[in-house]
């Protein structure tokens, strides 16, 4: 058998290819595609979690856009995907479905070792004592050490913020005085209109996304990195498998902001916000978008909207000024897997140049 060290000597793209080949031989891992994703997405509608991103088909489609699997044991399952921003790292999300106290251990002792390691994602702080097992011993001579790490890339460096649509639409009280003034001044200085988000508007919306990105950088690689997630997100408007809605905001006749959300599933009263993109040079527009989005949701009898966590203090401060109804502290845990890899049966073909990449 080839060693893990041999695998790690290969170029990263071949290591990623090998991992995907290995995992397809493990029956408990099921790769999700357009054809079978209903196996996972349908049960999510029955799930309840205050961190509603964890029960959202849109969240897994976006985060798992480079490859998404479920690890399944009976009626329990764990979503697993490639990290969207760190090539070669696997993200493991909290288990869903029926309670199974052993499913994480079983997964970590069975999973092929990815080139950049495994990270447990979106772990609630109160769940860390049960997740942070200092050592897991597997039946194949493998050990796993779990350790909490500072999350510096994904969107829970700062807590998840869930807002009341009623509170934000009204903006009552002295603590909202400045926000009300921003909105009032915007409407005095500009003609502000809005319409419903539609796939028919995608060309104009992407033109706005390009304008927004070009204000931040002129470096082609950075522009591509800024634009790509929004294109992936807005493309969901054309996919009937996803239930998304939103608003487009025009300032003096030009698109200057877009909001997009996912209505609650059958078990919650919390919508999930996926886009809240705004030309912040138009003073008061960000606040107007928040207020208008909440007004729209409130009229649909949706009392809360989850704006997720934040990567930066500035973004978190903006969400916080609307006085969240709920906040959720999340953590990341790295799994240091040592010992035997599971299959590695295709290395010879790779080393000999016999495999043609798909």
Sequence ranges of the domains in the chain: 4-155+331-351, 160-308
Architecture of domain 4-155+331-351: 3-Layer(aba) Sandwich (3.40)
CATH superfamily entry for domain 160-308: Gcn5-related N-acetyltransferase (GNAT) (3.40.630.30)
Q: DSSP letters of 58-119?
A: HHHHHHTTT-EEEEEETTEEEEEEE-SSSTTPEEEPPPEES--TTHHHHHHHHS---TT-EE
Chain centroid, CA 252 distance in Å? 33
Q: How many CB atoms lie within 10 A of CB 310?
A: 20
Dist CA 274 CA 247 (whole Å): 12
pTM to 2 decimal places: 0.90
pLDDT attached to residue 353:
53
Give me the mean pLDDT over the 278-290 stretch. 97
Q: Could you tell me the pLDDT band of residue 326, with boundaries at 50, 70 and 90?
A: very high
Q: How many CB atoms lie within 10 A of CB 354?
A: 9
4-155+331-351 and 160-308 in the same fold: yes
Dist CA 286 CA 288 (whole Å): 5
Dist CA 292 CA 249 (whole Å): 10
Dist CA 321 CA 167 (whole Å): 12
Q: Which of 104, 42, 113 is nearest to 73 (CA)?
A: 104
Mean pLDDT of the chain: 90
pLDDT at 159 over 90: yes
Structure-token pair, residue 283? 């003073």
pLDDT attached to residue 218:
87
pLDDT attached to residue 8:
66
């Amino acid at each position: 058998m080839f060693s893990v060290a041999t695998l790690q000597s290969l170029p990263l793209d071949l290591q990623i290819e090998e991992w995907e080949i290995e995992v397809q031989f493990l029956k408990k891992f099921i790769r999700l595609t357009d054809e079978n994703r209903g196996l996972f997405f349908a049960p999510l509608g029955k799930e309840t979690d205050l961190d509603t991103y964890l029960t959202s088909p849109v969240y897994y489609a976006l985060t798992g856009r480079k490859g998404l699997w479920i690890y399944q044991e009976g009626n329990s399952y764990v979503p697993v995907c490639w990290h969207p921003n760190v090539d070669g790292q696997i993200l493991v999300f909290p288990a869903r479905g029926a309670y199974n106290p052993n499913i994480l251990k079983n997964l970590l002792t069975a999973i092929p070792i990815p080139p950049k390691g495994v990270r447990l994602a979106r772990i609630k702080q109160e769940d860390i004592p049960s997740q942070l097992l200092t050592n897991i011993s597997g039946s194949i001579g493998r050990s796993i050490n779990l350790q909490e790490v500072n999350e510096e890339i994904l969107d829970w460096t700062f807590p998840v913020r869930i807002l009341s649509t009623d509170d934000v639409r009204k903006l009552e009280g002295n603590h909202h005085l400045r926000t009300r003034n921003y909105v009032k001044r915007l409407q005095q200085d500009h003609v502000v209109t809005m319409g419903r988000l539609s796939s028919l508007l995608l060309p104009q919306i992407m033109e706005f996304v390009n304008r927004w990105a070009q204000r931040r950088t002129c470096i082609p690689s950075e522009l591509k990195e800024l634009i790509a997630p929004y294109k992936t997100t807005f493309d969901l408007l054309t996919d009937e498998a996803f239930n998304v809605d939103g608003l487009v905001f025009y300032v003096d006749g030009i698109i200057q902001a877009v909001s997009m959300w996912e209505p609650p599933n059958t078990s919650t009263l919390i919508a999930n916000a996926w886009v809240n993109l705004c030309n912040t040079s138009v003073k008061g527009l960000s606040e107007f978008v928040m207020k208008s989005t909440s007004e729209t949701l409130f009229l649909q009898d949706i009392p809360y909207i989850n704006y997720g966590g934040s990567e930066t203090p500035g973004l978190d401060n903006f969400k916080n000024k609307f006085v969240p109804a709920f906040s959720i502290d999340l953590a990341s845990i790295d799994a240091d897997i040592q010992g035997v890899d599971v299959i590695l049966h295709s290395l010879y073909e790779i080393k000999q140049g016999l495999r043609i990449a798909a």
